[in-house]
Structure 1
Amino acid sequence: MAQYTYLKLLAAGFTTLQIYKIIAFAPHFLDASKYEQSTILNHFVRLHNSKVLRTAASKYNKLYAEKIIENLTTDKVNFITINDNRYPTLLREIANPPVILYYRGNIKLLNFVLLLGIIGSRNATAYTDQALHYLYPAFIQHKIGIVSGLAKGADHSALKLALQYGLPAVAVLAFGHCRHYPAITRTTRNQLEQHGLVISEYPPQTPIKKYYFPQRNRLISGIAKGILITESEEHSGTHITLECALDQNREVYVVPGRFYDHMSEGNMIAAQQGAKIVLRPEDIIDDFKLTK
């Protein structure tokens, strides 16, 4: 079955993009026998002449899906594949969506609530909290949930306050479920695993690497109806997620900025480029109701 093949490919070290390239190279790969899959991978590796791919192909041939699932159970991590009806509909629309989502928590949140992605600076000030305290009460009656990363600053505020207000909350990791970073968000993550949802496209033991974070950002915007920027500097990692949102045809919102405040510069640049300035909760709610 496809789900077992996906599990083995990811456990062997193939990336999501590489998996799509393998399937493009041999469209019948998922349905092929073990021998045929091994032959296809060998041809694929020779074509790309990559030591990393050779290592992954060799590891793939030694893996058993049953053992991988056993390890997932030990790690208390569940998974769904892109073919599962619980897989988020919006995420299927993006380029190269994850073939598997590993998760802890309530997977139903991905399809049964409207999600707003909230992003901003790791150096976010009290202004981010003030803005969210203003917006969140109105989100409750409209069943709007929150999705963000688990970085310190705006991400952490967005999810921590979502839990306080009883809003559906989803965190997206840039590493495996058996890892965590930064330490300051650990308690919030534990609460999300119990009362919300924590997802990752990476197998549970995947270590923390810098280049995984931009990949993570495309999932934040990918499962959301729109993205809200609370505070961001002119040159900020926030703009990676902003670019993903624009590529995915998501609405982008910004909290109003303050003159002479460098933490608002990124917001105002985004507004000049077409992002919608939010003056009241209805500026987001009305858009979300129109796209139900």
Structure 2
Amino acid sequence: MNDVILYFALKYYGNWKLIYKAIKNNEKILNGDLELIDKEIKAKSLSINNPLYPDVLREVNNPPFVIFHYGNIDLINQYYRCVGMVIGAKLSKYQSKALKDFVKFFHKNSPIMVIKIDNHINDSLKVVFNPSKKIILVVKEPLLCFLKSNADLIKDYEFSNNLLVISEFYEKTEASYLGPMYERIFTGISKTALVICDSSEHHFKQTITLLNDSGKSIFVLPEEIYKKSNNNSLIKEGALIVQSGADILNIL
């Protein structure tokens, strides 16, 4: 059954609805088609009925039928240590300094940072990378595309066991479907989350909504009261004020 699910995931380029329809309707598979699935693809995939598939992803709405991965897949099952990092691309000096302090603390105290990558690794995120520290990247684009466009980063972790890259797509997908639900993977494997972003970055709204709906604790860096701020709005809505990494570590 693993190969059947993987076959449909590849055939329909990760489109959840089409994969679901194929499985539900017992769509026929031609003799020999399953044997054509490359062994390397099998080694980089986990189907939902595989015993190694993480339980935390089974619990999200419309769990991915297949996740494609590169690196240390064992990191995904260390949920109790995972901190989701919702980091904006346009950080102020205050926010940038705070982020560096949080990352420094996390690197010393060993939680696993979970980072979602929308289109590319922005400058704000570069501070989180350290080949000697564990990190999980949940990427919007197909796995092979991300590995190719970030070859230098992958090379930095080449001899490390501290990187895991996850995507719902392997090689390609339809442009209209590219990542509309990938944030559920990010929220699913994050036990808690830290939010540091600019008020103009409204694309994080869906992520925050999913975190709230799944009952995750959300820590937010407060801003000046005279400044228009999504962060302060989140605090008014019930998010937790964060002053140091220790506040977050107490939740793990």
2:18 corresponds to: 18
**Kept after mapping to 1: 8 A contact 2:114/2:136:** yes
Which residue of 175, 178, 199 corresponds with 2:166? 199
In the other structure, the counterpart of 1:246 is 212
Distance 1:254 1:154, change over 3 A: farther
* Letter matched to residue 241 of structure 1: T
**Deviations for 1:64-85, whole angstroms, at most 9, x for unmatched residues?**
2232224627xxx611122333
What amino acid is aligned across from residue 89 of structure 2 in structure 1?
A: R
The one-letter amino acid of 2:244's match is: R
Give the match for residue 65 of structure 1.
Answer: 34
Query: What stretches of structure 1 of length at least 5 have no aligned partner?
Result: 30-36, 39-59
8 Å CA contact retained: 1:122, 1:153: no
Counterpart of 2:194 (choices 216, 219, 228) is 228
Aligned pairs (5 A) from 1:124-143: 124-140=91-107, 142-143=109-110
> Which moves more between the two structures, 212-221 or 60-69?
60-69
Distance in 2 (alpha carbons) for counterparts of 1:156 and 1:65: 42
Secondary structure of 2:129's counterpart equals helix
Correspondence for 1:117:
84
Identity of aligned residues (%): 23
Preserved contact between residue 120 and residue 154 of structure 1 (Cα < 8 Å): no
C-alpha displacement at 1:121, in angstroms? Answer: 2.2
Structure 2 unaligned regions, length at least 5: none
Match of 2:138 in 1: 172
- Which of 41, 51, 56 in structure 2 is aligned with 1:85? 51
| Structure 2 match to 1:44 | none
Q: Which has the higher helix share?
A: 1
What do the CA deviations read for 1:33-64 (whole angstroms, capped 9, x no partner)? xxxx42xxxxxxxxxxxxxxxxxxxxx64872
CA apart distance, 1:151: 4.3
Candidates 111, 119, 123, aligned match of 1:144: 111
Once residues 281 and 248 of structure 1 are traced to their aligned partners in structure 2, the CA distance between those partners, rounded to angstroms, is 22
Residues 81-131 of structure 1: per-residue CA shift (max 9 Å, x gap):
223333222112111111211111000111136111111322234444322
Could you tell me how far apart the structure 1 residues matched to 2:123 and 2:53 are?
A: 25
CA distance in 2 between partners of 1:178 and 1:154 (Å): 16
Whichever residue aligns with residue 37 of structure 2, its letter is I
Q: 1:190 to 1:89 in 2, by over 3 A?
A: farther
Aligned to 1:49: none
RMSD of aligned alpha carbons: 3.1
Structure with higher Rg: it is: 1
> How far off its partner does 1:19 sit?
3.0
Deviation of residue 200 (structure 1)?
0.6
Is the 1:252–1:276 contact (alpha carbons within 8 Å) kept by the matching residues of 2? yes
Structure with larger RCO (C-alpha < 8 A, sep 6+): 2
TM-score of the aligned structures, taking structure 1 as reference length: 0.73
- CA pair 284-270 structure 1, distance change in 2 beyond 3 A: same
Matched, 1:278 2:225: no
Q: 1:240 to 1:225 in 2, by over 3 A?
A: same
Q: For 1:126 and 1:86, how far apart are their aligned partners in 2?
A: 42
Whole-angstrom CA distance in 2 between matches of 1:62 and 1:192: 40
- TM-score between the two structures when normalised by the length of structure 2: 0.83
Q: Which residue of 2 aligns with 1:108?
A: 74
Distance apart, 1:144 and its partner CA: 0.7
| 1:258 aligns to 2:219 (yes or no) | no
The one-letter code sitting in structure 1 at the alignment partner of 2:36 is K
